Amino acid sequence: MANNTNVQIDVHHITRVEGHGNIKVDIKNGEIKECKLEVVEAPRFFEAMLRNRHYDEAALITSRICGICSVGHQLASLRATEDAFGITQSRQEKLLRRLLNCGEYFESHVLHVYFLAVPDFVGVKSVLPLVSTHKDVVIQALKLKKLGHYVGDVIGGRLVHSMASNVKAMTKVPTKAQLEEIILKLKDAKVELQKAIGTLKSLKLPHFERETEYISLYQEGEYALLEGDIYSSDTGLSSYKNYRQLTNEYLVDHSTAKRAKHNRQSFMVGALARFNNSHQWLSDSAKQAAEDLGLKAPCYNTYLNTVAQFVELFHIADDSIAAAEELLNMTLAVEDRTIVPKAATGVGVVEVPRGILYHEYAYDDKGYMQKANCIIPTGQNLNNIEDDFRALLLTIMDKSKEEITLMLEMMVRAYDPCISCSTHILNVEFVE
């Protein structure tokens, strides 16, 4: 490598990601002087919003941290409150939450794979030019996204900021006809996804490898998304209650989002981490899709996070068909759980599309929020993104500035970051 390489990159407000972030790179004489992902989103102070609010508003408020992970925030929030007050979920409640979560994964993964990531591989700036060149793919994507919204509407009243996710239990139940419709649509979706495998295979994903620590929710025997403990590929299993030891948040100057580290300087969360840690429990069709797409665990190519998301859609379709079929055989009625608040602390952990999410609440004896802490996946990934940048830059330094910039942007997009979310981590912490 020529050591007279000088490159300066300054991408202001990366596009096709949720939220505002900048990339800054400075290479002098072949040496990386600076390499950062800056988070410049305005802080929102969710802790101030939650303080002294009643427990039945926690999910309503935290849902608004993020539009694309709103279901995940609600479910983590409900889990945290349930954990604090010692409330258990009925089978019906668990199955309904699985379906609502399915809606969010379809919306989010399809948006990311088709609208945000794929344009790079085709060499266009957005999904819009694809309307004329790949109309069938765009229509397929819209249909799959719509499926997410349909399931969200039926189970949650709507997908973005569902009003049915309530601490007393879901405020509505689907009819048999709606459940049958969901099953039918999910089966159709699997056919559509199957068709897309060929297209996805033909796309050239960059070669890149850097082994890192992978952290995800973990439950023996299932591809854990909504309950379980925490698994690290470096250190194994930890209780969900010990999430702070897995995150160790700290601040840096160039970011309004907190950073996290565990066993090393950085770790990765998200679809690739879930795949690496729990692939053995994917459904058969998801395993087949992974094989067809050449995705093998453990996979150290960050760019393949997008492929792992696609594979997950098969699993989520299968898992949701099973959930809907089980609900069909039950007599459903709106539940009204009795809640007795107490002065206590609870932790809720779920996997949102872009990685593991933690909510922790402390309530007083009347059920008013005293303390809250939410740790969002993108914040956990920030160090890993910068470490990937460094490793990648060493191999592409001699390319043109435009090519390097694109490779870095694609790297950020591969994480499917939710920057608007990640800054809220910082905002949701309050320390007494």
Partner 1 sequence: MAKPKVAFFDFSCCEGCQLCAIDLTPEQLLDLIAVIDIVEFREAISEKSDAYDIAIIEGSITRDSDIPRLKKIRETAKLVITLGACSTIGGINALKNFQSKYAYQSDVYPTDPEKYETTTARAVHEIVKVDAFIPGCPIDTGEFVRVVKNLVLGRDPAIPTYPVCVECKKNENICVYEKGIQCLGPIIRAGCGARCPSNGGYCFGCRGVIPEPNLNSQQDIMQQHNLTFEQMKDKLKLFLQRNKEVFSDGE
Nearest CA to 38 among 68, 12, 15? Answer: 12
Taking the complex as a whole, the smallest distance from the CB of residue 173 to partner 1 amounts, in Å, to 9
CB of 364 to partner 1, least distance (A): 16
Q: CB-wise, 117 or 304, nearer to partner 1?
A: 117
Q: Element (H or E) spanning 187, and its range?
A: helix 176-202
Q: Which is nearer to partner 1, 315 or 413 (CB)?
A: 413
Local structure of 127: helix, strand or coil = coil
What's the min distance (Å) between Cβ of 145 and partner 1?
A: 7
Question: Which tokens sit at 317?
Answer: 């379709």
- The residue behind tokens 């039926």 is 154
For the bound state, the minimum distance from the C-beta of residue 49 to partner 1, rounded and expressed in Å, comes to 4
Strand order across the beta sheet in which 31-39 lies: 7-11, 21-28, 31-39
- Shortest Å distance, C-beta 109 to partner 1: 13
Q: How far is CA 430 from CA 52, 65, 365, 371, in A?
A: 13, 16, 19, 6
Nearest residue (CB) to partner 1, 153 versus 222: 153
Residues contributing to the site for partner 1 (CB under 8 A):
13, 15-19, 41-45, 47-49, 51, 57, 60-61, 64-68, 70, 107, 111, 115-116, 119, 125-128, 131, 138-139, 142-143, 145-146, 149, 156-161, 163-164, 166, 170-172, 251, 256, 334, 420-421, 426-431
Minimum distance from residue 84 beta carbon to partner 1 (Å): 20
Given a contact cutoff of 8 angstroms between Cβ atoms, the answer to whether 401 and 1 are in contact is no
Question: Whose structure tokens read 């266009």?
Answer: 124
The CB-of-47 to partner 1 minimum distance in angstroms stands at 5
Q: What is the CA radius of gyration of the chain?
A: 21
Question: Could you tell me if 155 and 101 are in contact, meaning their C-beta atoms sit under 8 angstroms apart?
Answer: no
Closest separation in Å from C-beta 413 to partner 1: 10
Interacting residues of 388 by C-beta distance below 8 A, sequence separation 6+: 208, 210, 302, 411
With vertex at residue 377, the alpha carbon angle to CA 385 and CA 94, rounded to the nearest 5 degrees, is 150
Q: Which two tokens stand for residue 290?
A: 């992974």
How far apart CA 174 and CA 165 sit, in angstroms, is 13
- DSSP string over 331-345: ------------SEE
CB-based burial label for 62 (10 Å; 0-12, 13-18, 19+):
buried
Instruction: Report residue 105 as tokens.
Output: 């994964």
CB of 188 vs partner 1, minimal distance in Å = 15
Alpha helices in 303-376 (DSSP H): 305-328
Q: Of 30 and 129, which has the nearer Cβ to partner 1?
A: 129
- Name residue 203's amino acid: L
H or E element, residue 114: none
Per the rule left: phi > 0, alpha: psi between -120 and 50, beta: everything else, 371 is beta
Residue with Cβ nearer partner 1 (2 or 191): 191
Judged by CB, which is closer to partner 1: 111, or 224? 111
Give the shortest CB-417-to-partner 1 separation in angstroms: 12
Kindly state the smallest distance separating residue 21's Cβ from partner 1, in Å: 11
The DSSP H or E segment spanning 11 is: strand 7-11
